[in-house]
Structure 1
Amino acid sequence: MSIKNKLQRLKPHLNTGTSSQEPRVSKPELTGVEIPFLDVWASENVTPYWVDDKYCLIREVRYPISFEHGNYAFQDFLTSVHAWNQSDYRHPLSSKGHKAEDLFFFDTETTGLGGGAGNSIFILGYAVVKGAEIVLKQHILPNPGAEVPLFKSFLENVDYTTLVTYNGKAFDWPQVKTRHVFVKEHVPKLPEFGHFDLYHASRRMWKHKLERTKLSIVEKDVLGVERQDDIPGFLAPMIYFDFVERKDPEGMLGILKHNEIDILSLITLYTHISFQLLNKDVNMSARETYEVGRWYASLGENAQAVESLSAIIDGSSEENILAKFILAKQYKREKKYTEATLLWEDIMEAEGKVDSKIVFESYIEAAKLLEHKVKDLEKALAYTKRAFMLIEGTEYAEKPRLLTDIHKRELRLQRKIGILT
């Protein structure tokens, strides 16, 4: 059913607060509390979880490890974890020391995007590897008074060794902590765990080509995930409030499917990023290779940075030039001064074709090495003079201290050569 048709079916109920169909109920023998539409829930693999006379609902879906979601099968995730464990690559997203079963792919649905106590979580969803399957569970809040069974069921039955989220550090888990405060005397404590947040990784890797890095956009443009008749996330609060009022699960089932795809996409995304970070993605673009190398360089992982960047320094494209620039800095750190200078000189030859700031900095960096390490003073002076000429018209021209430093270097080199006394 299309989104438009779903909203049309919801519209009369949102206006009148009534249902065209009488709710079907079931009376649990032990509680005497009726669960509306229990047979509909049961047909969707949803069962109740009771704490005294209150309940939440738990949906469970299982996928074979061979199932394909986007460009990868879930068994490729197992391959990525194995590859991390066999590799010497060090990275914050490395699962080295973990089994695939240790990673806990987690996502929530909430009544709003803001923080604070007024925002409630109505779905806690996660997926884990169990044997030859991906087991996905979603804990559902049937009404605002059922947070104790919601959190109790969630916290009692999962292993949180390492959380994998999309912006979970900034949003999902802080929301869990906020809501947990209200029920902490009745449910288990929140666990300690590692956390892989793939949102920041996606921004680093693909912000150059994506207008936004929402998960749905990354899914479509990077992972090859195509959603069918998906309910947009921004409609979730409205549909949930309608469900609380009318109890009919029709709209909620759409939100559960939306959340399910989000969680499955986290598995595919972690797999894809891992393959790129491990240089195992044969389809990786030059720009992605550059971003991987730059990321490792920022972490001080020089060997991995050099390995990635060296693969794309041949050529004169923007990516080639950028890779040369970062690689030259890596060589400088490793005291490979000749190699660093040669790369900076390659960048100088691209003057007029690439960002003038990179060319300017290459002249400056090369001049420093030529003066202090290579001891080629005349070439150092020539590069210093050229840098001074290039600075005009750039943002660097507004930095008096930089201008002073260049002028001092020029005078010092002239004195060393004997031009000045």
Structure 2
Amino acid sequence: MSAPAVTRPAEDLPAPPPPLGRNRDYRMVWTGSAVSALGSSITSLAYPLLVLAATGSPTKAGLVGFANTLPNLALPLHAGVLVDRFDRKKLLILCDAVRALCLGSVGAALLLGHFWLWHVLTVCLIEGAFTVLAGIAGQAAIRNVVRREDLDRAFARSEARDRAAMVVGKPLGGLLLGVTRSLPFLADAASYLVSLAALLLVRRPFQTARTERPAEARQSAAAEIKEGVRWVLSQPFVRIASLLVAGSNLLFQALFLAVIVLLHQAHASDTAIGYVLAAAGVGGAAGSFCATWFRRRLPLAVVVIGANWIWALLVPLVGLTRSPLVIGATVAGLAFVGPVWNVAVEVYRLTITPDEIQGRTTSAVTLVAFGALPLGSLAGGLMLSHLSGRATVLWLSALMVLLALAATASKGVRTVAVPGRGHVRQEDTR
């Protein structure tokens, strides 16, 4: 028999978080993340444009996205163990420090007149790895920073923050790249340092009190990973929603590259491309402001099935025109739906998940949902190298229709038990 576990006494536990309007710690986290998101939005456009300008190869431009998102496929499960074992705030500070150093190295190299594809790919890989860890730690932490009843509004504000960063960051990335190649990357490095400083000002712990176990009673990393995966597999809706996100993420990652290539071939300027892609931020910000309203009024199944059909109807429009205005409006429509989906699905998952396994369950969902991103970048680059931009978009449209059909046919989506106010109600949209 193992030694009994020792827990922290109740008087050592932190007081409950204040309401969102008076929550200083949430404001610090939100502000730091907003600046960091702005920097990431700047370089998300600067990376492929830099490689496309330096090499002229859509395939190599796709490799950048592949390297940056590959950690989503390789690291989430082990990152989840770290998030549940160690102090989440310290992990987030470490992630910001490493990413600032990486982006600073690219900016410095370009400032000195050097471009090495291997260097950019390596930085993308390292930055992506620590972004995975930061994303899992941040999601696992949020439930301890805000009240349970404020979760949906906190998520909606985070979505609005990220989409607003996209509105400003995309055109700013093209503009800064036009001034000098190093500027977008130096700006992103500085944004991570601002995020780090904001985290240092947060007083509230990012996890609940942990049970202290003797060394012989601790599980191996593999056993802890298995525990998180088992929980996700036991939840039909969480499992199926993760697969649907994986499919849409793969297709949108390829579509993102296709839009850049289509506009580049139409001789649009880097700044103009940035403005078109910034439309995604406008649409996403609008969706963020509406997300809480939709979540509280529509069944979860309606949100999931409806989102997939709206995407299926809008994606083909990108391939039917070369007009930046029409493409931008379509991208805005696609992005509007994303926050509505994210807030509804993520609040549901975080609400039903015990805090002590938040990191591992988030990592399992991340592996499935975002592990498709590198495949999308790679597939998009290969398709654009062998097909026209229009043909690539039409193929992606057909796949999106299949995804919408799968969502509609899924019993796990159509029937889902959702936490209500003091009770659980069964939803069935059949």
TM-score, normalised relative to structure 1 = 0.24
Compare the two structures and name the one with the higher helix fraction: 2
Compare the two structures and name the one with the higher strand fraction: 1
Larger RCO of the pair (alpha carbons < 8 Å, separation 6+): 2
TM-score, normalised relative to structure 2 = 0.24
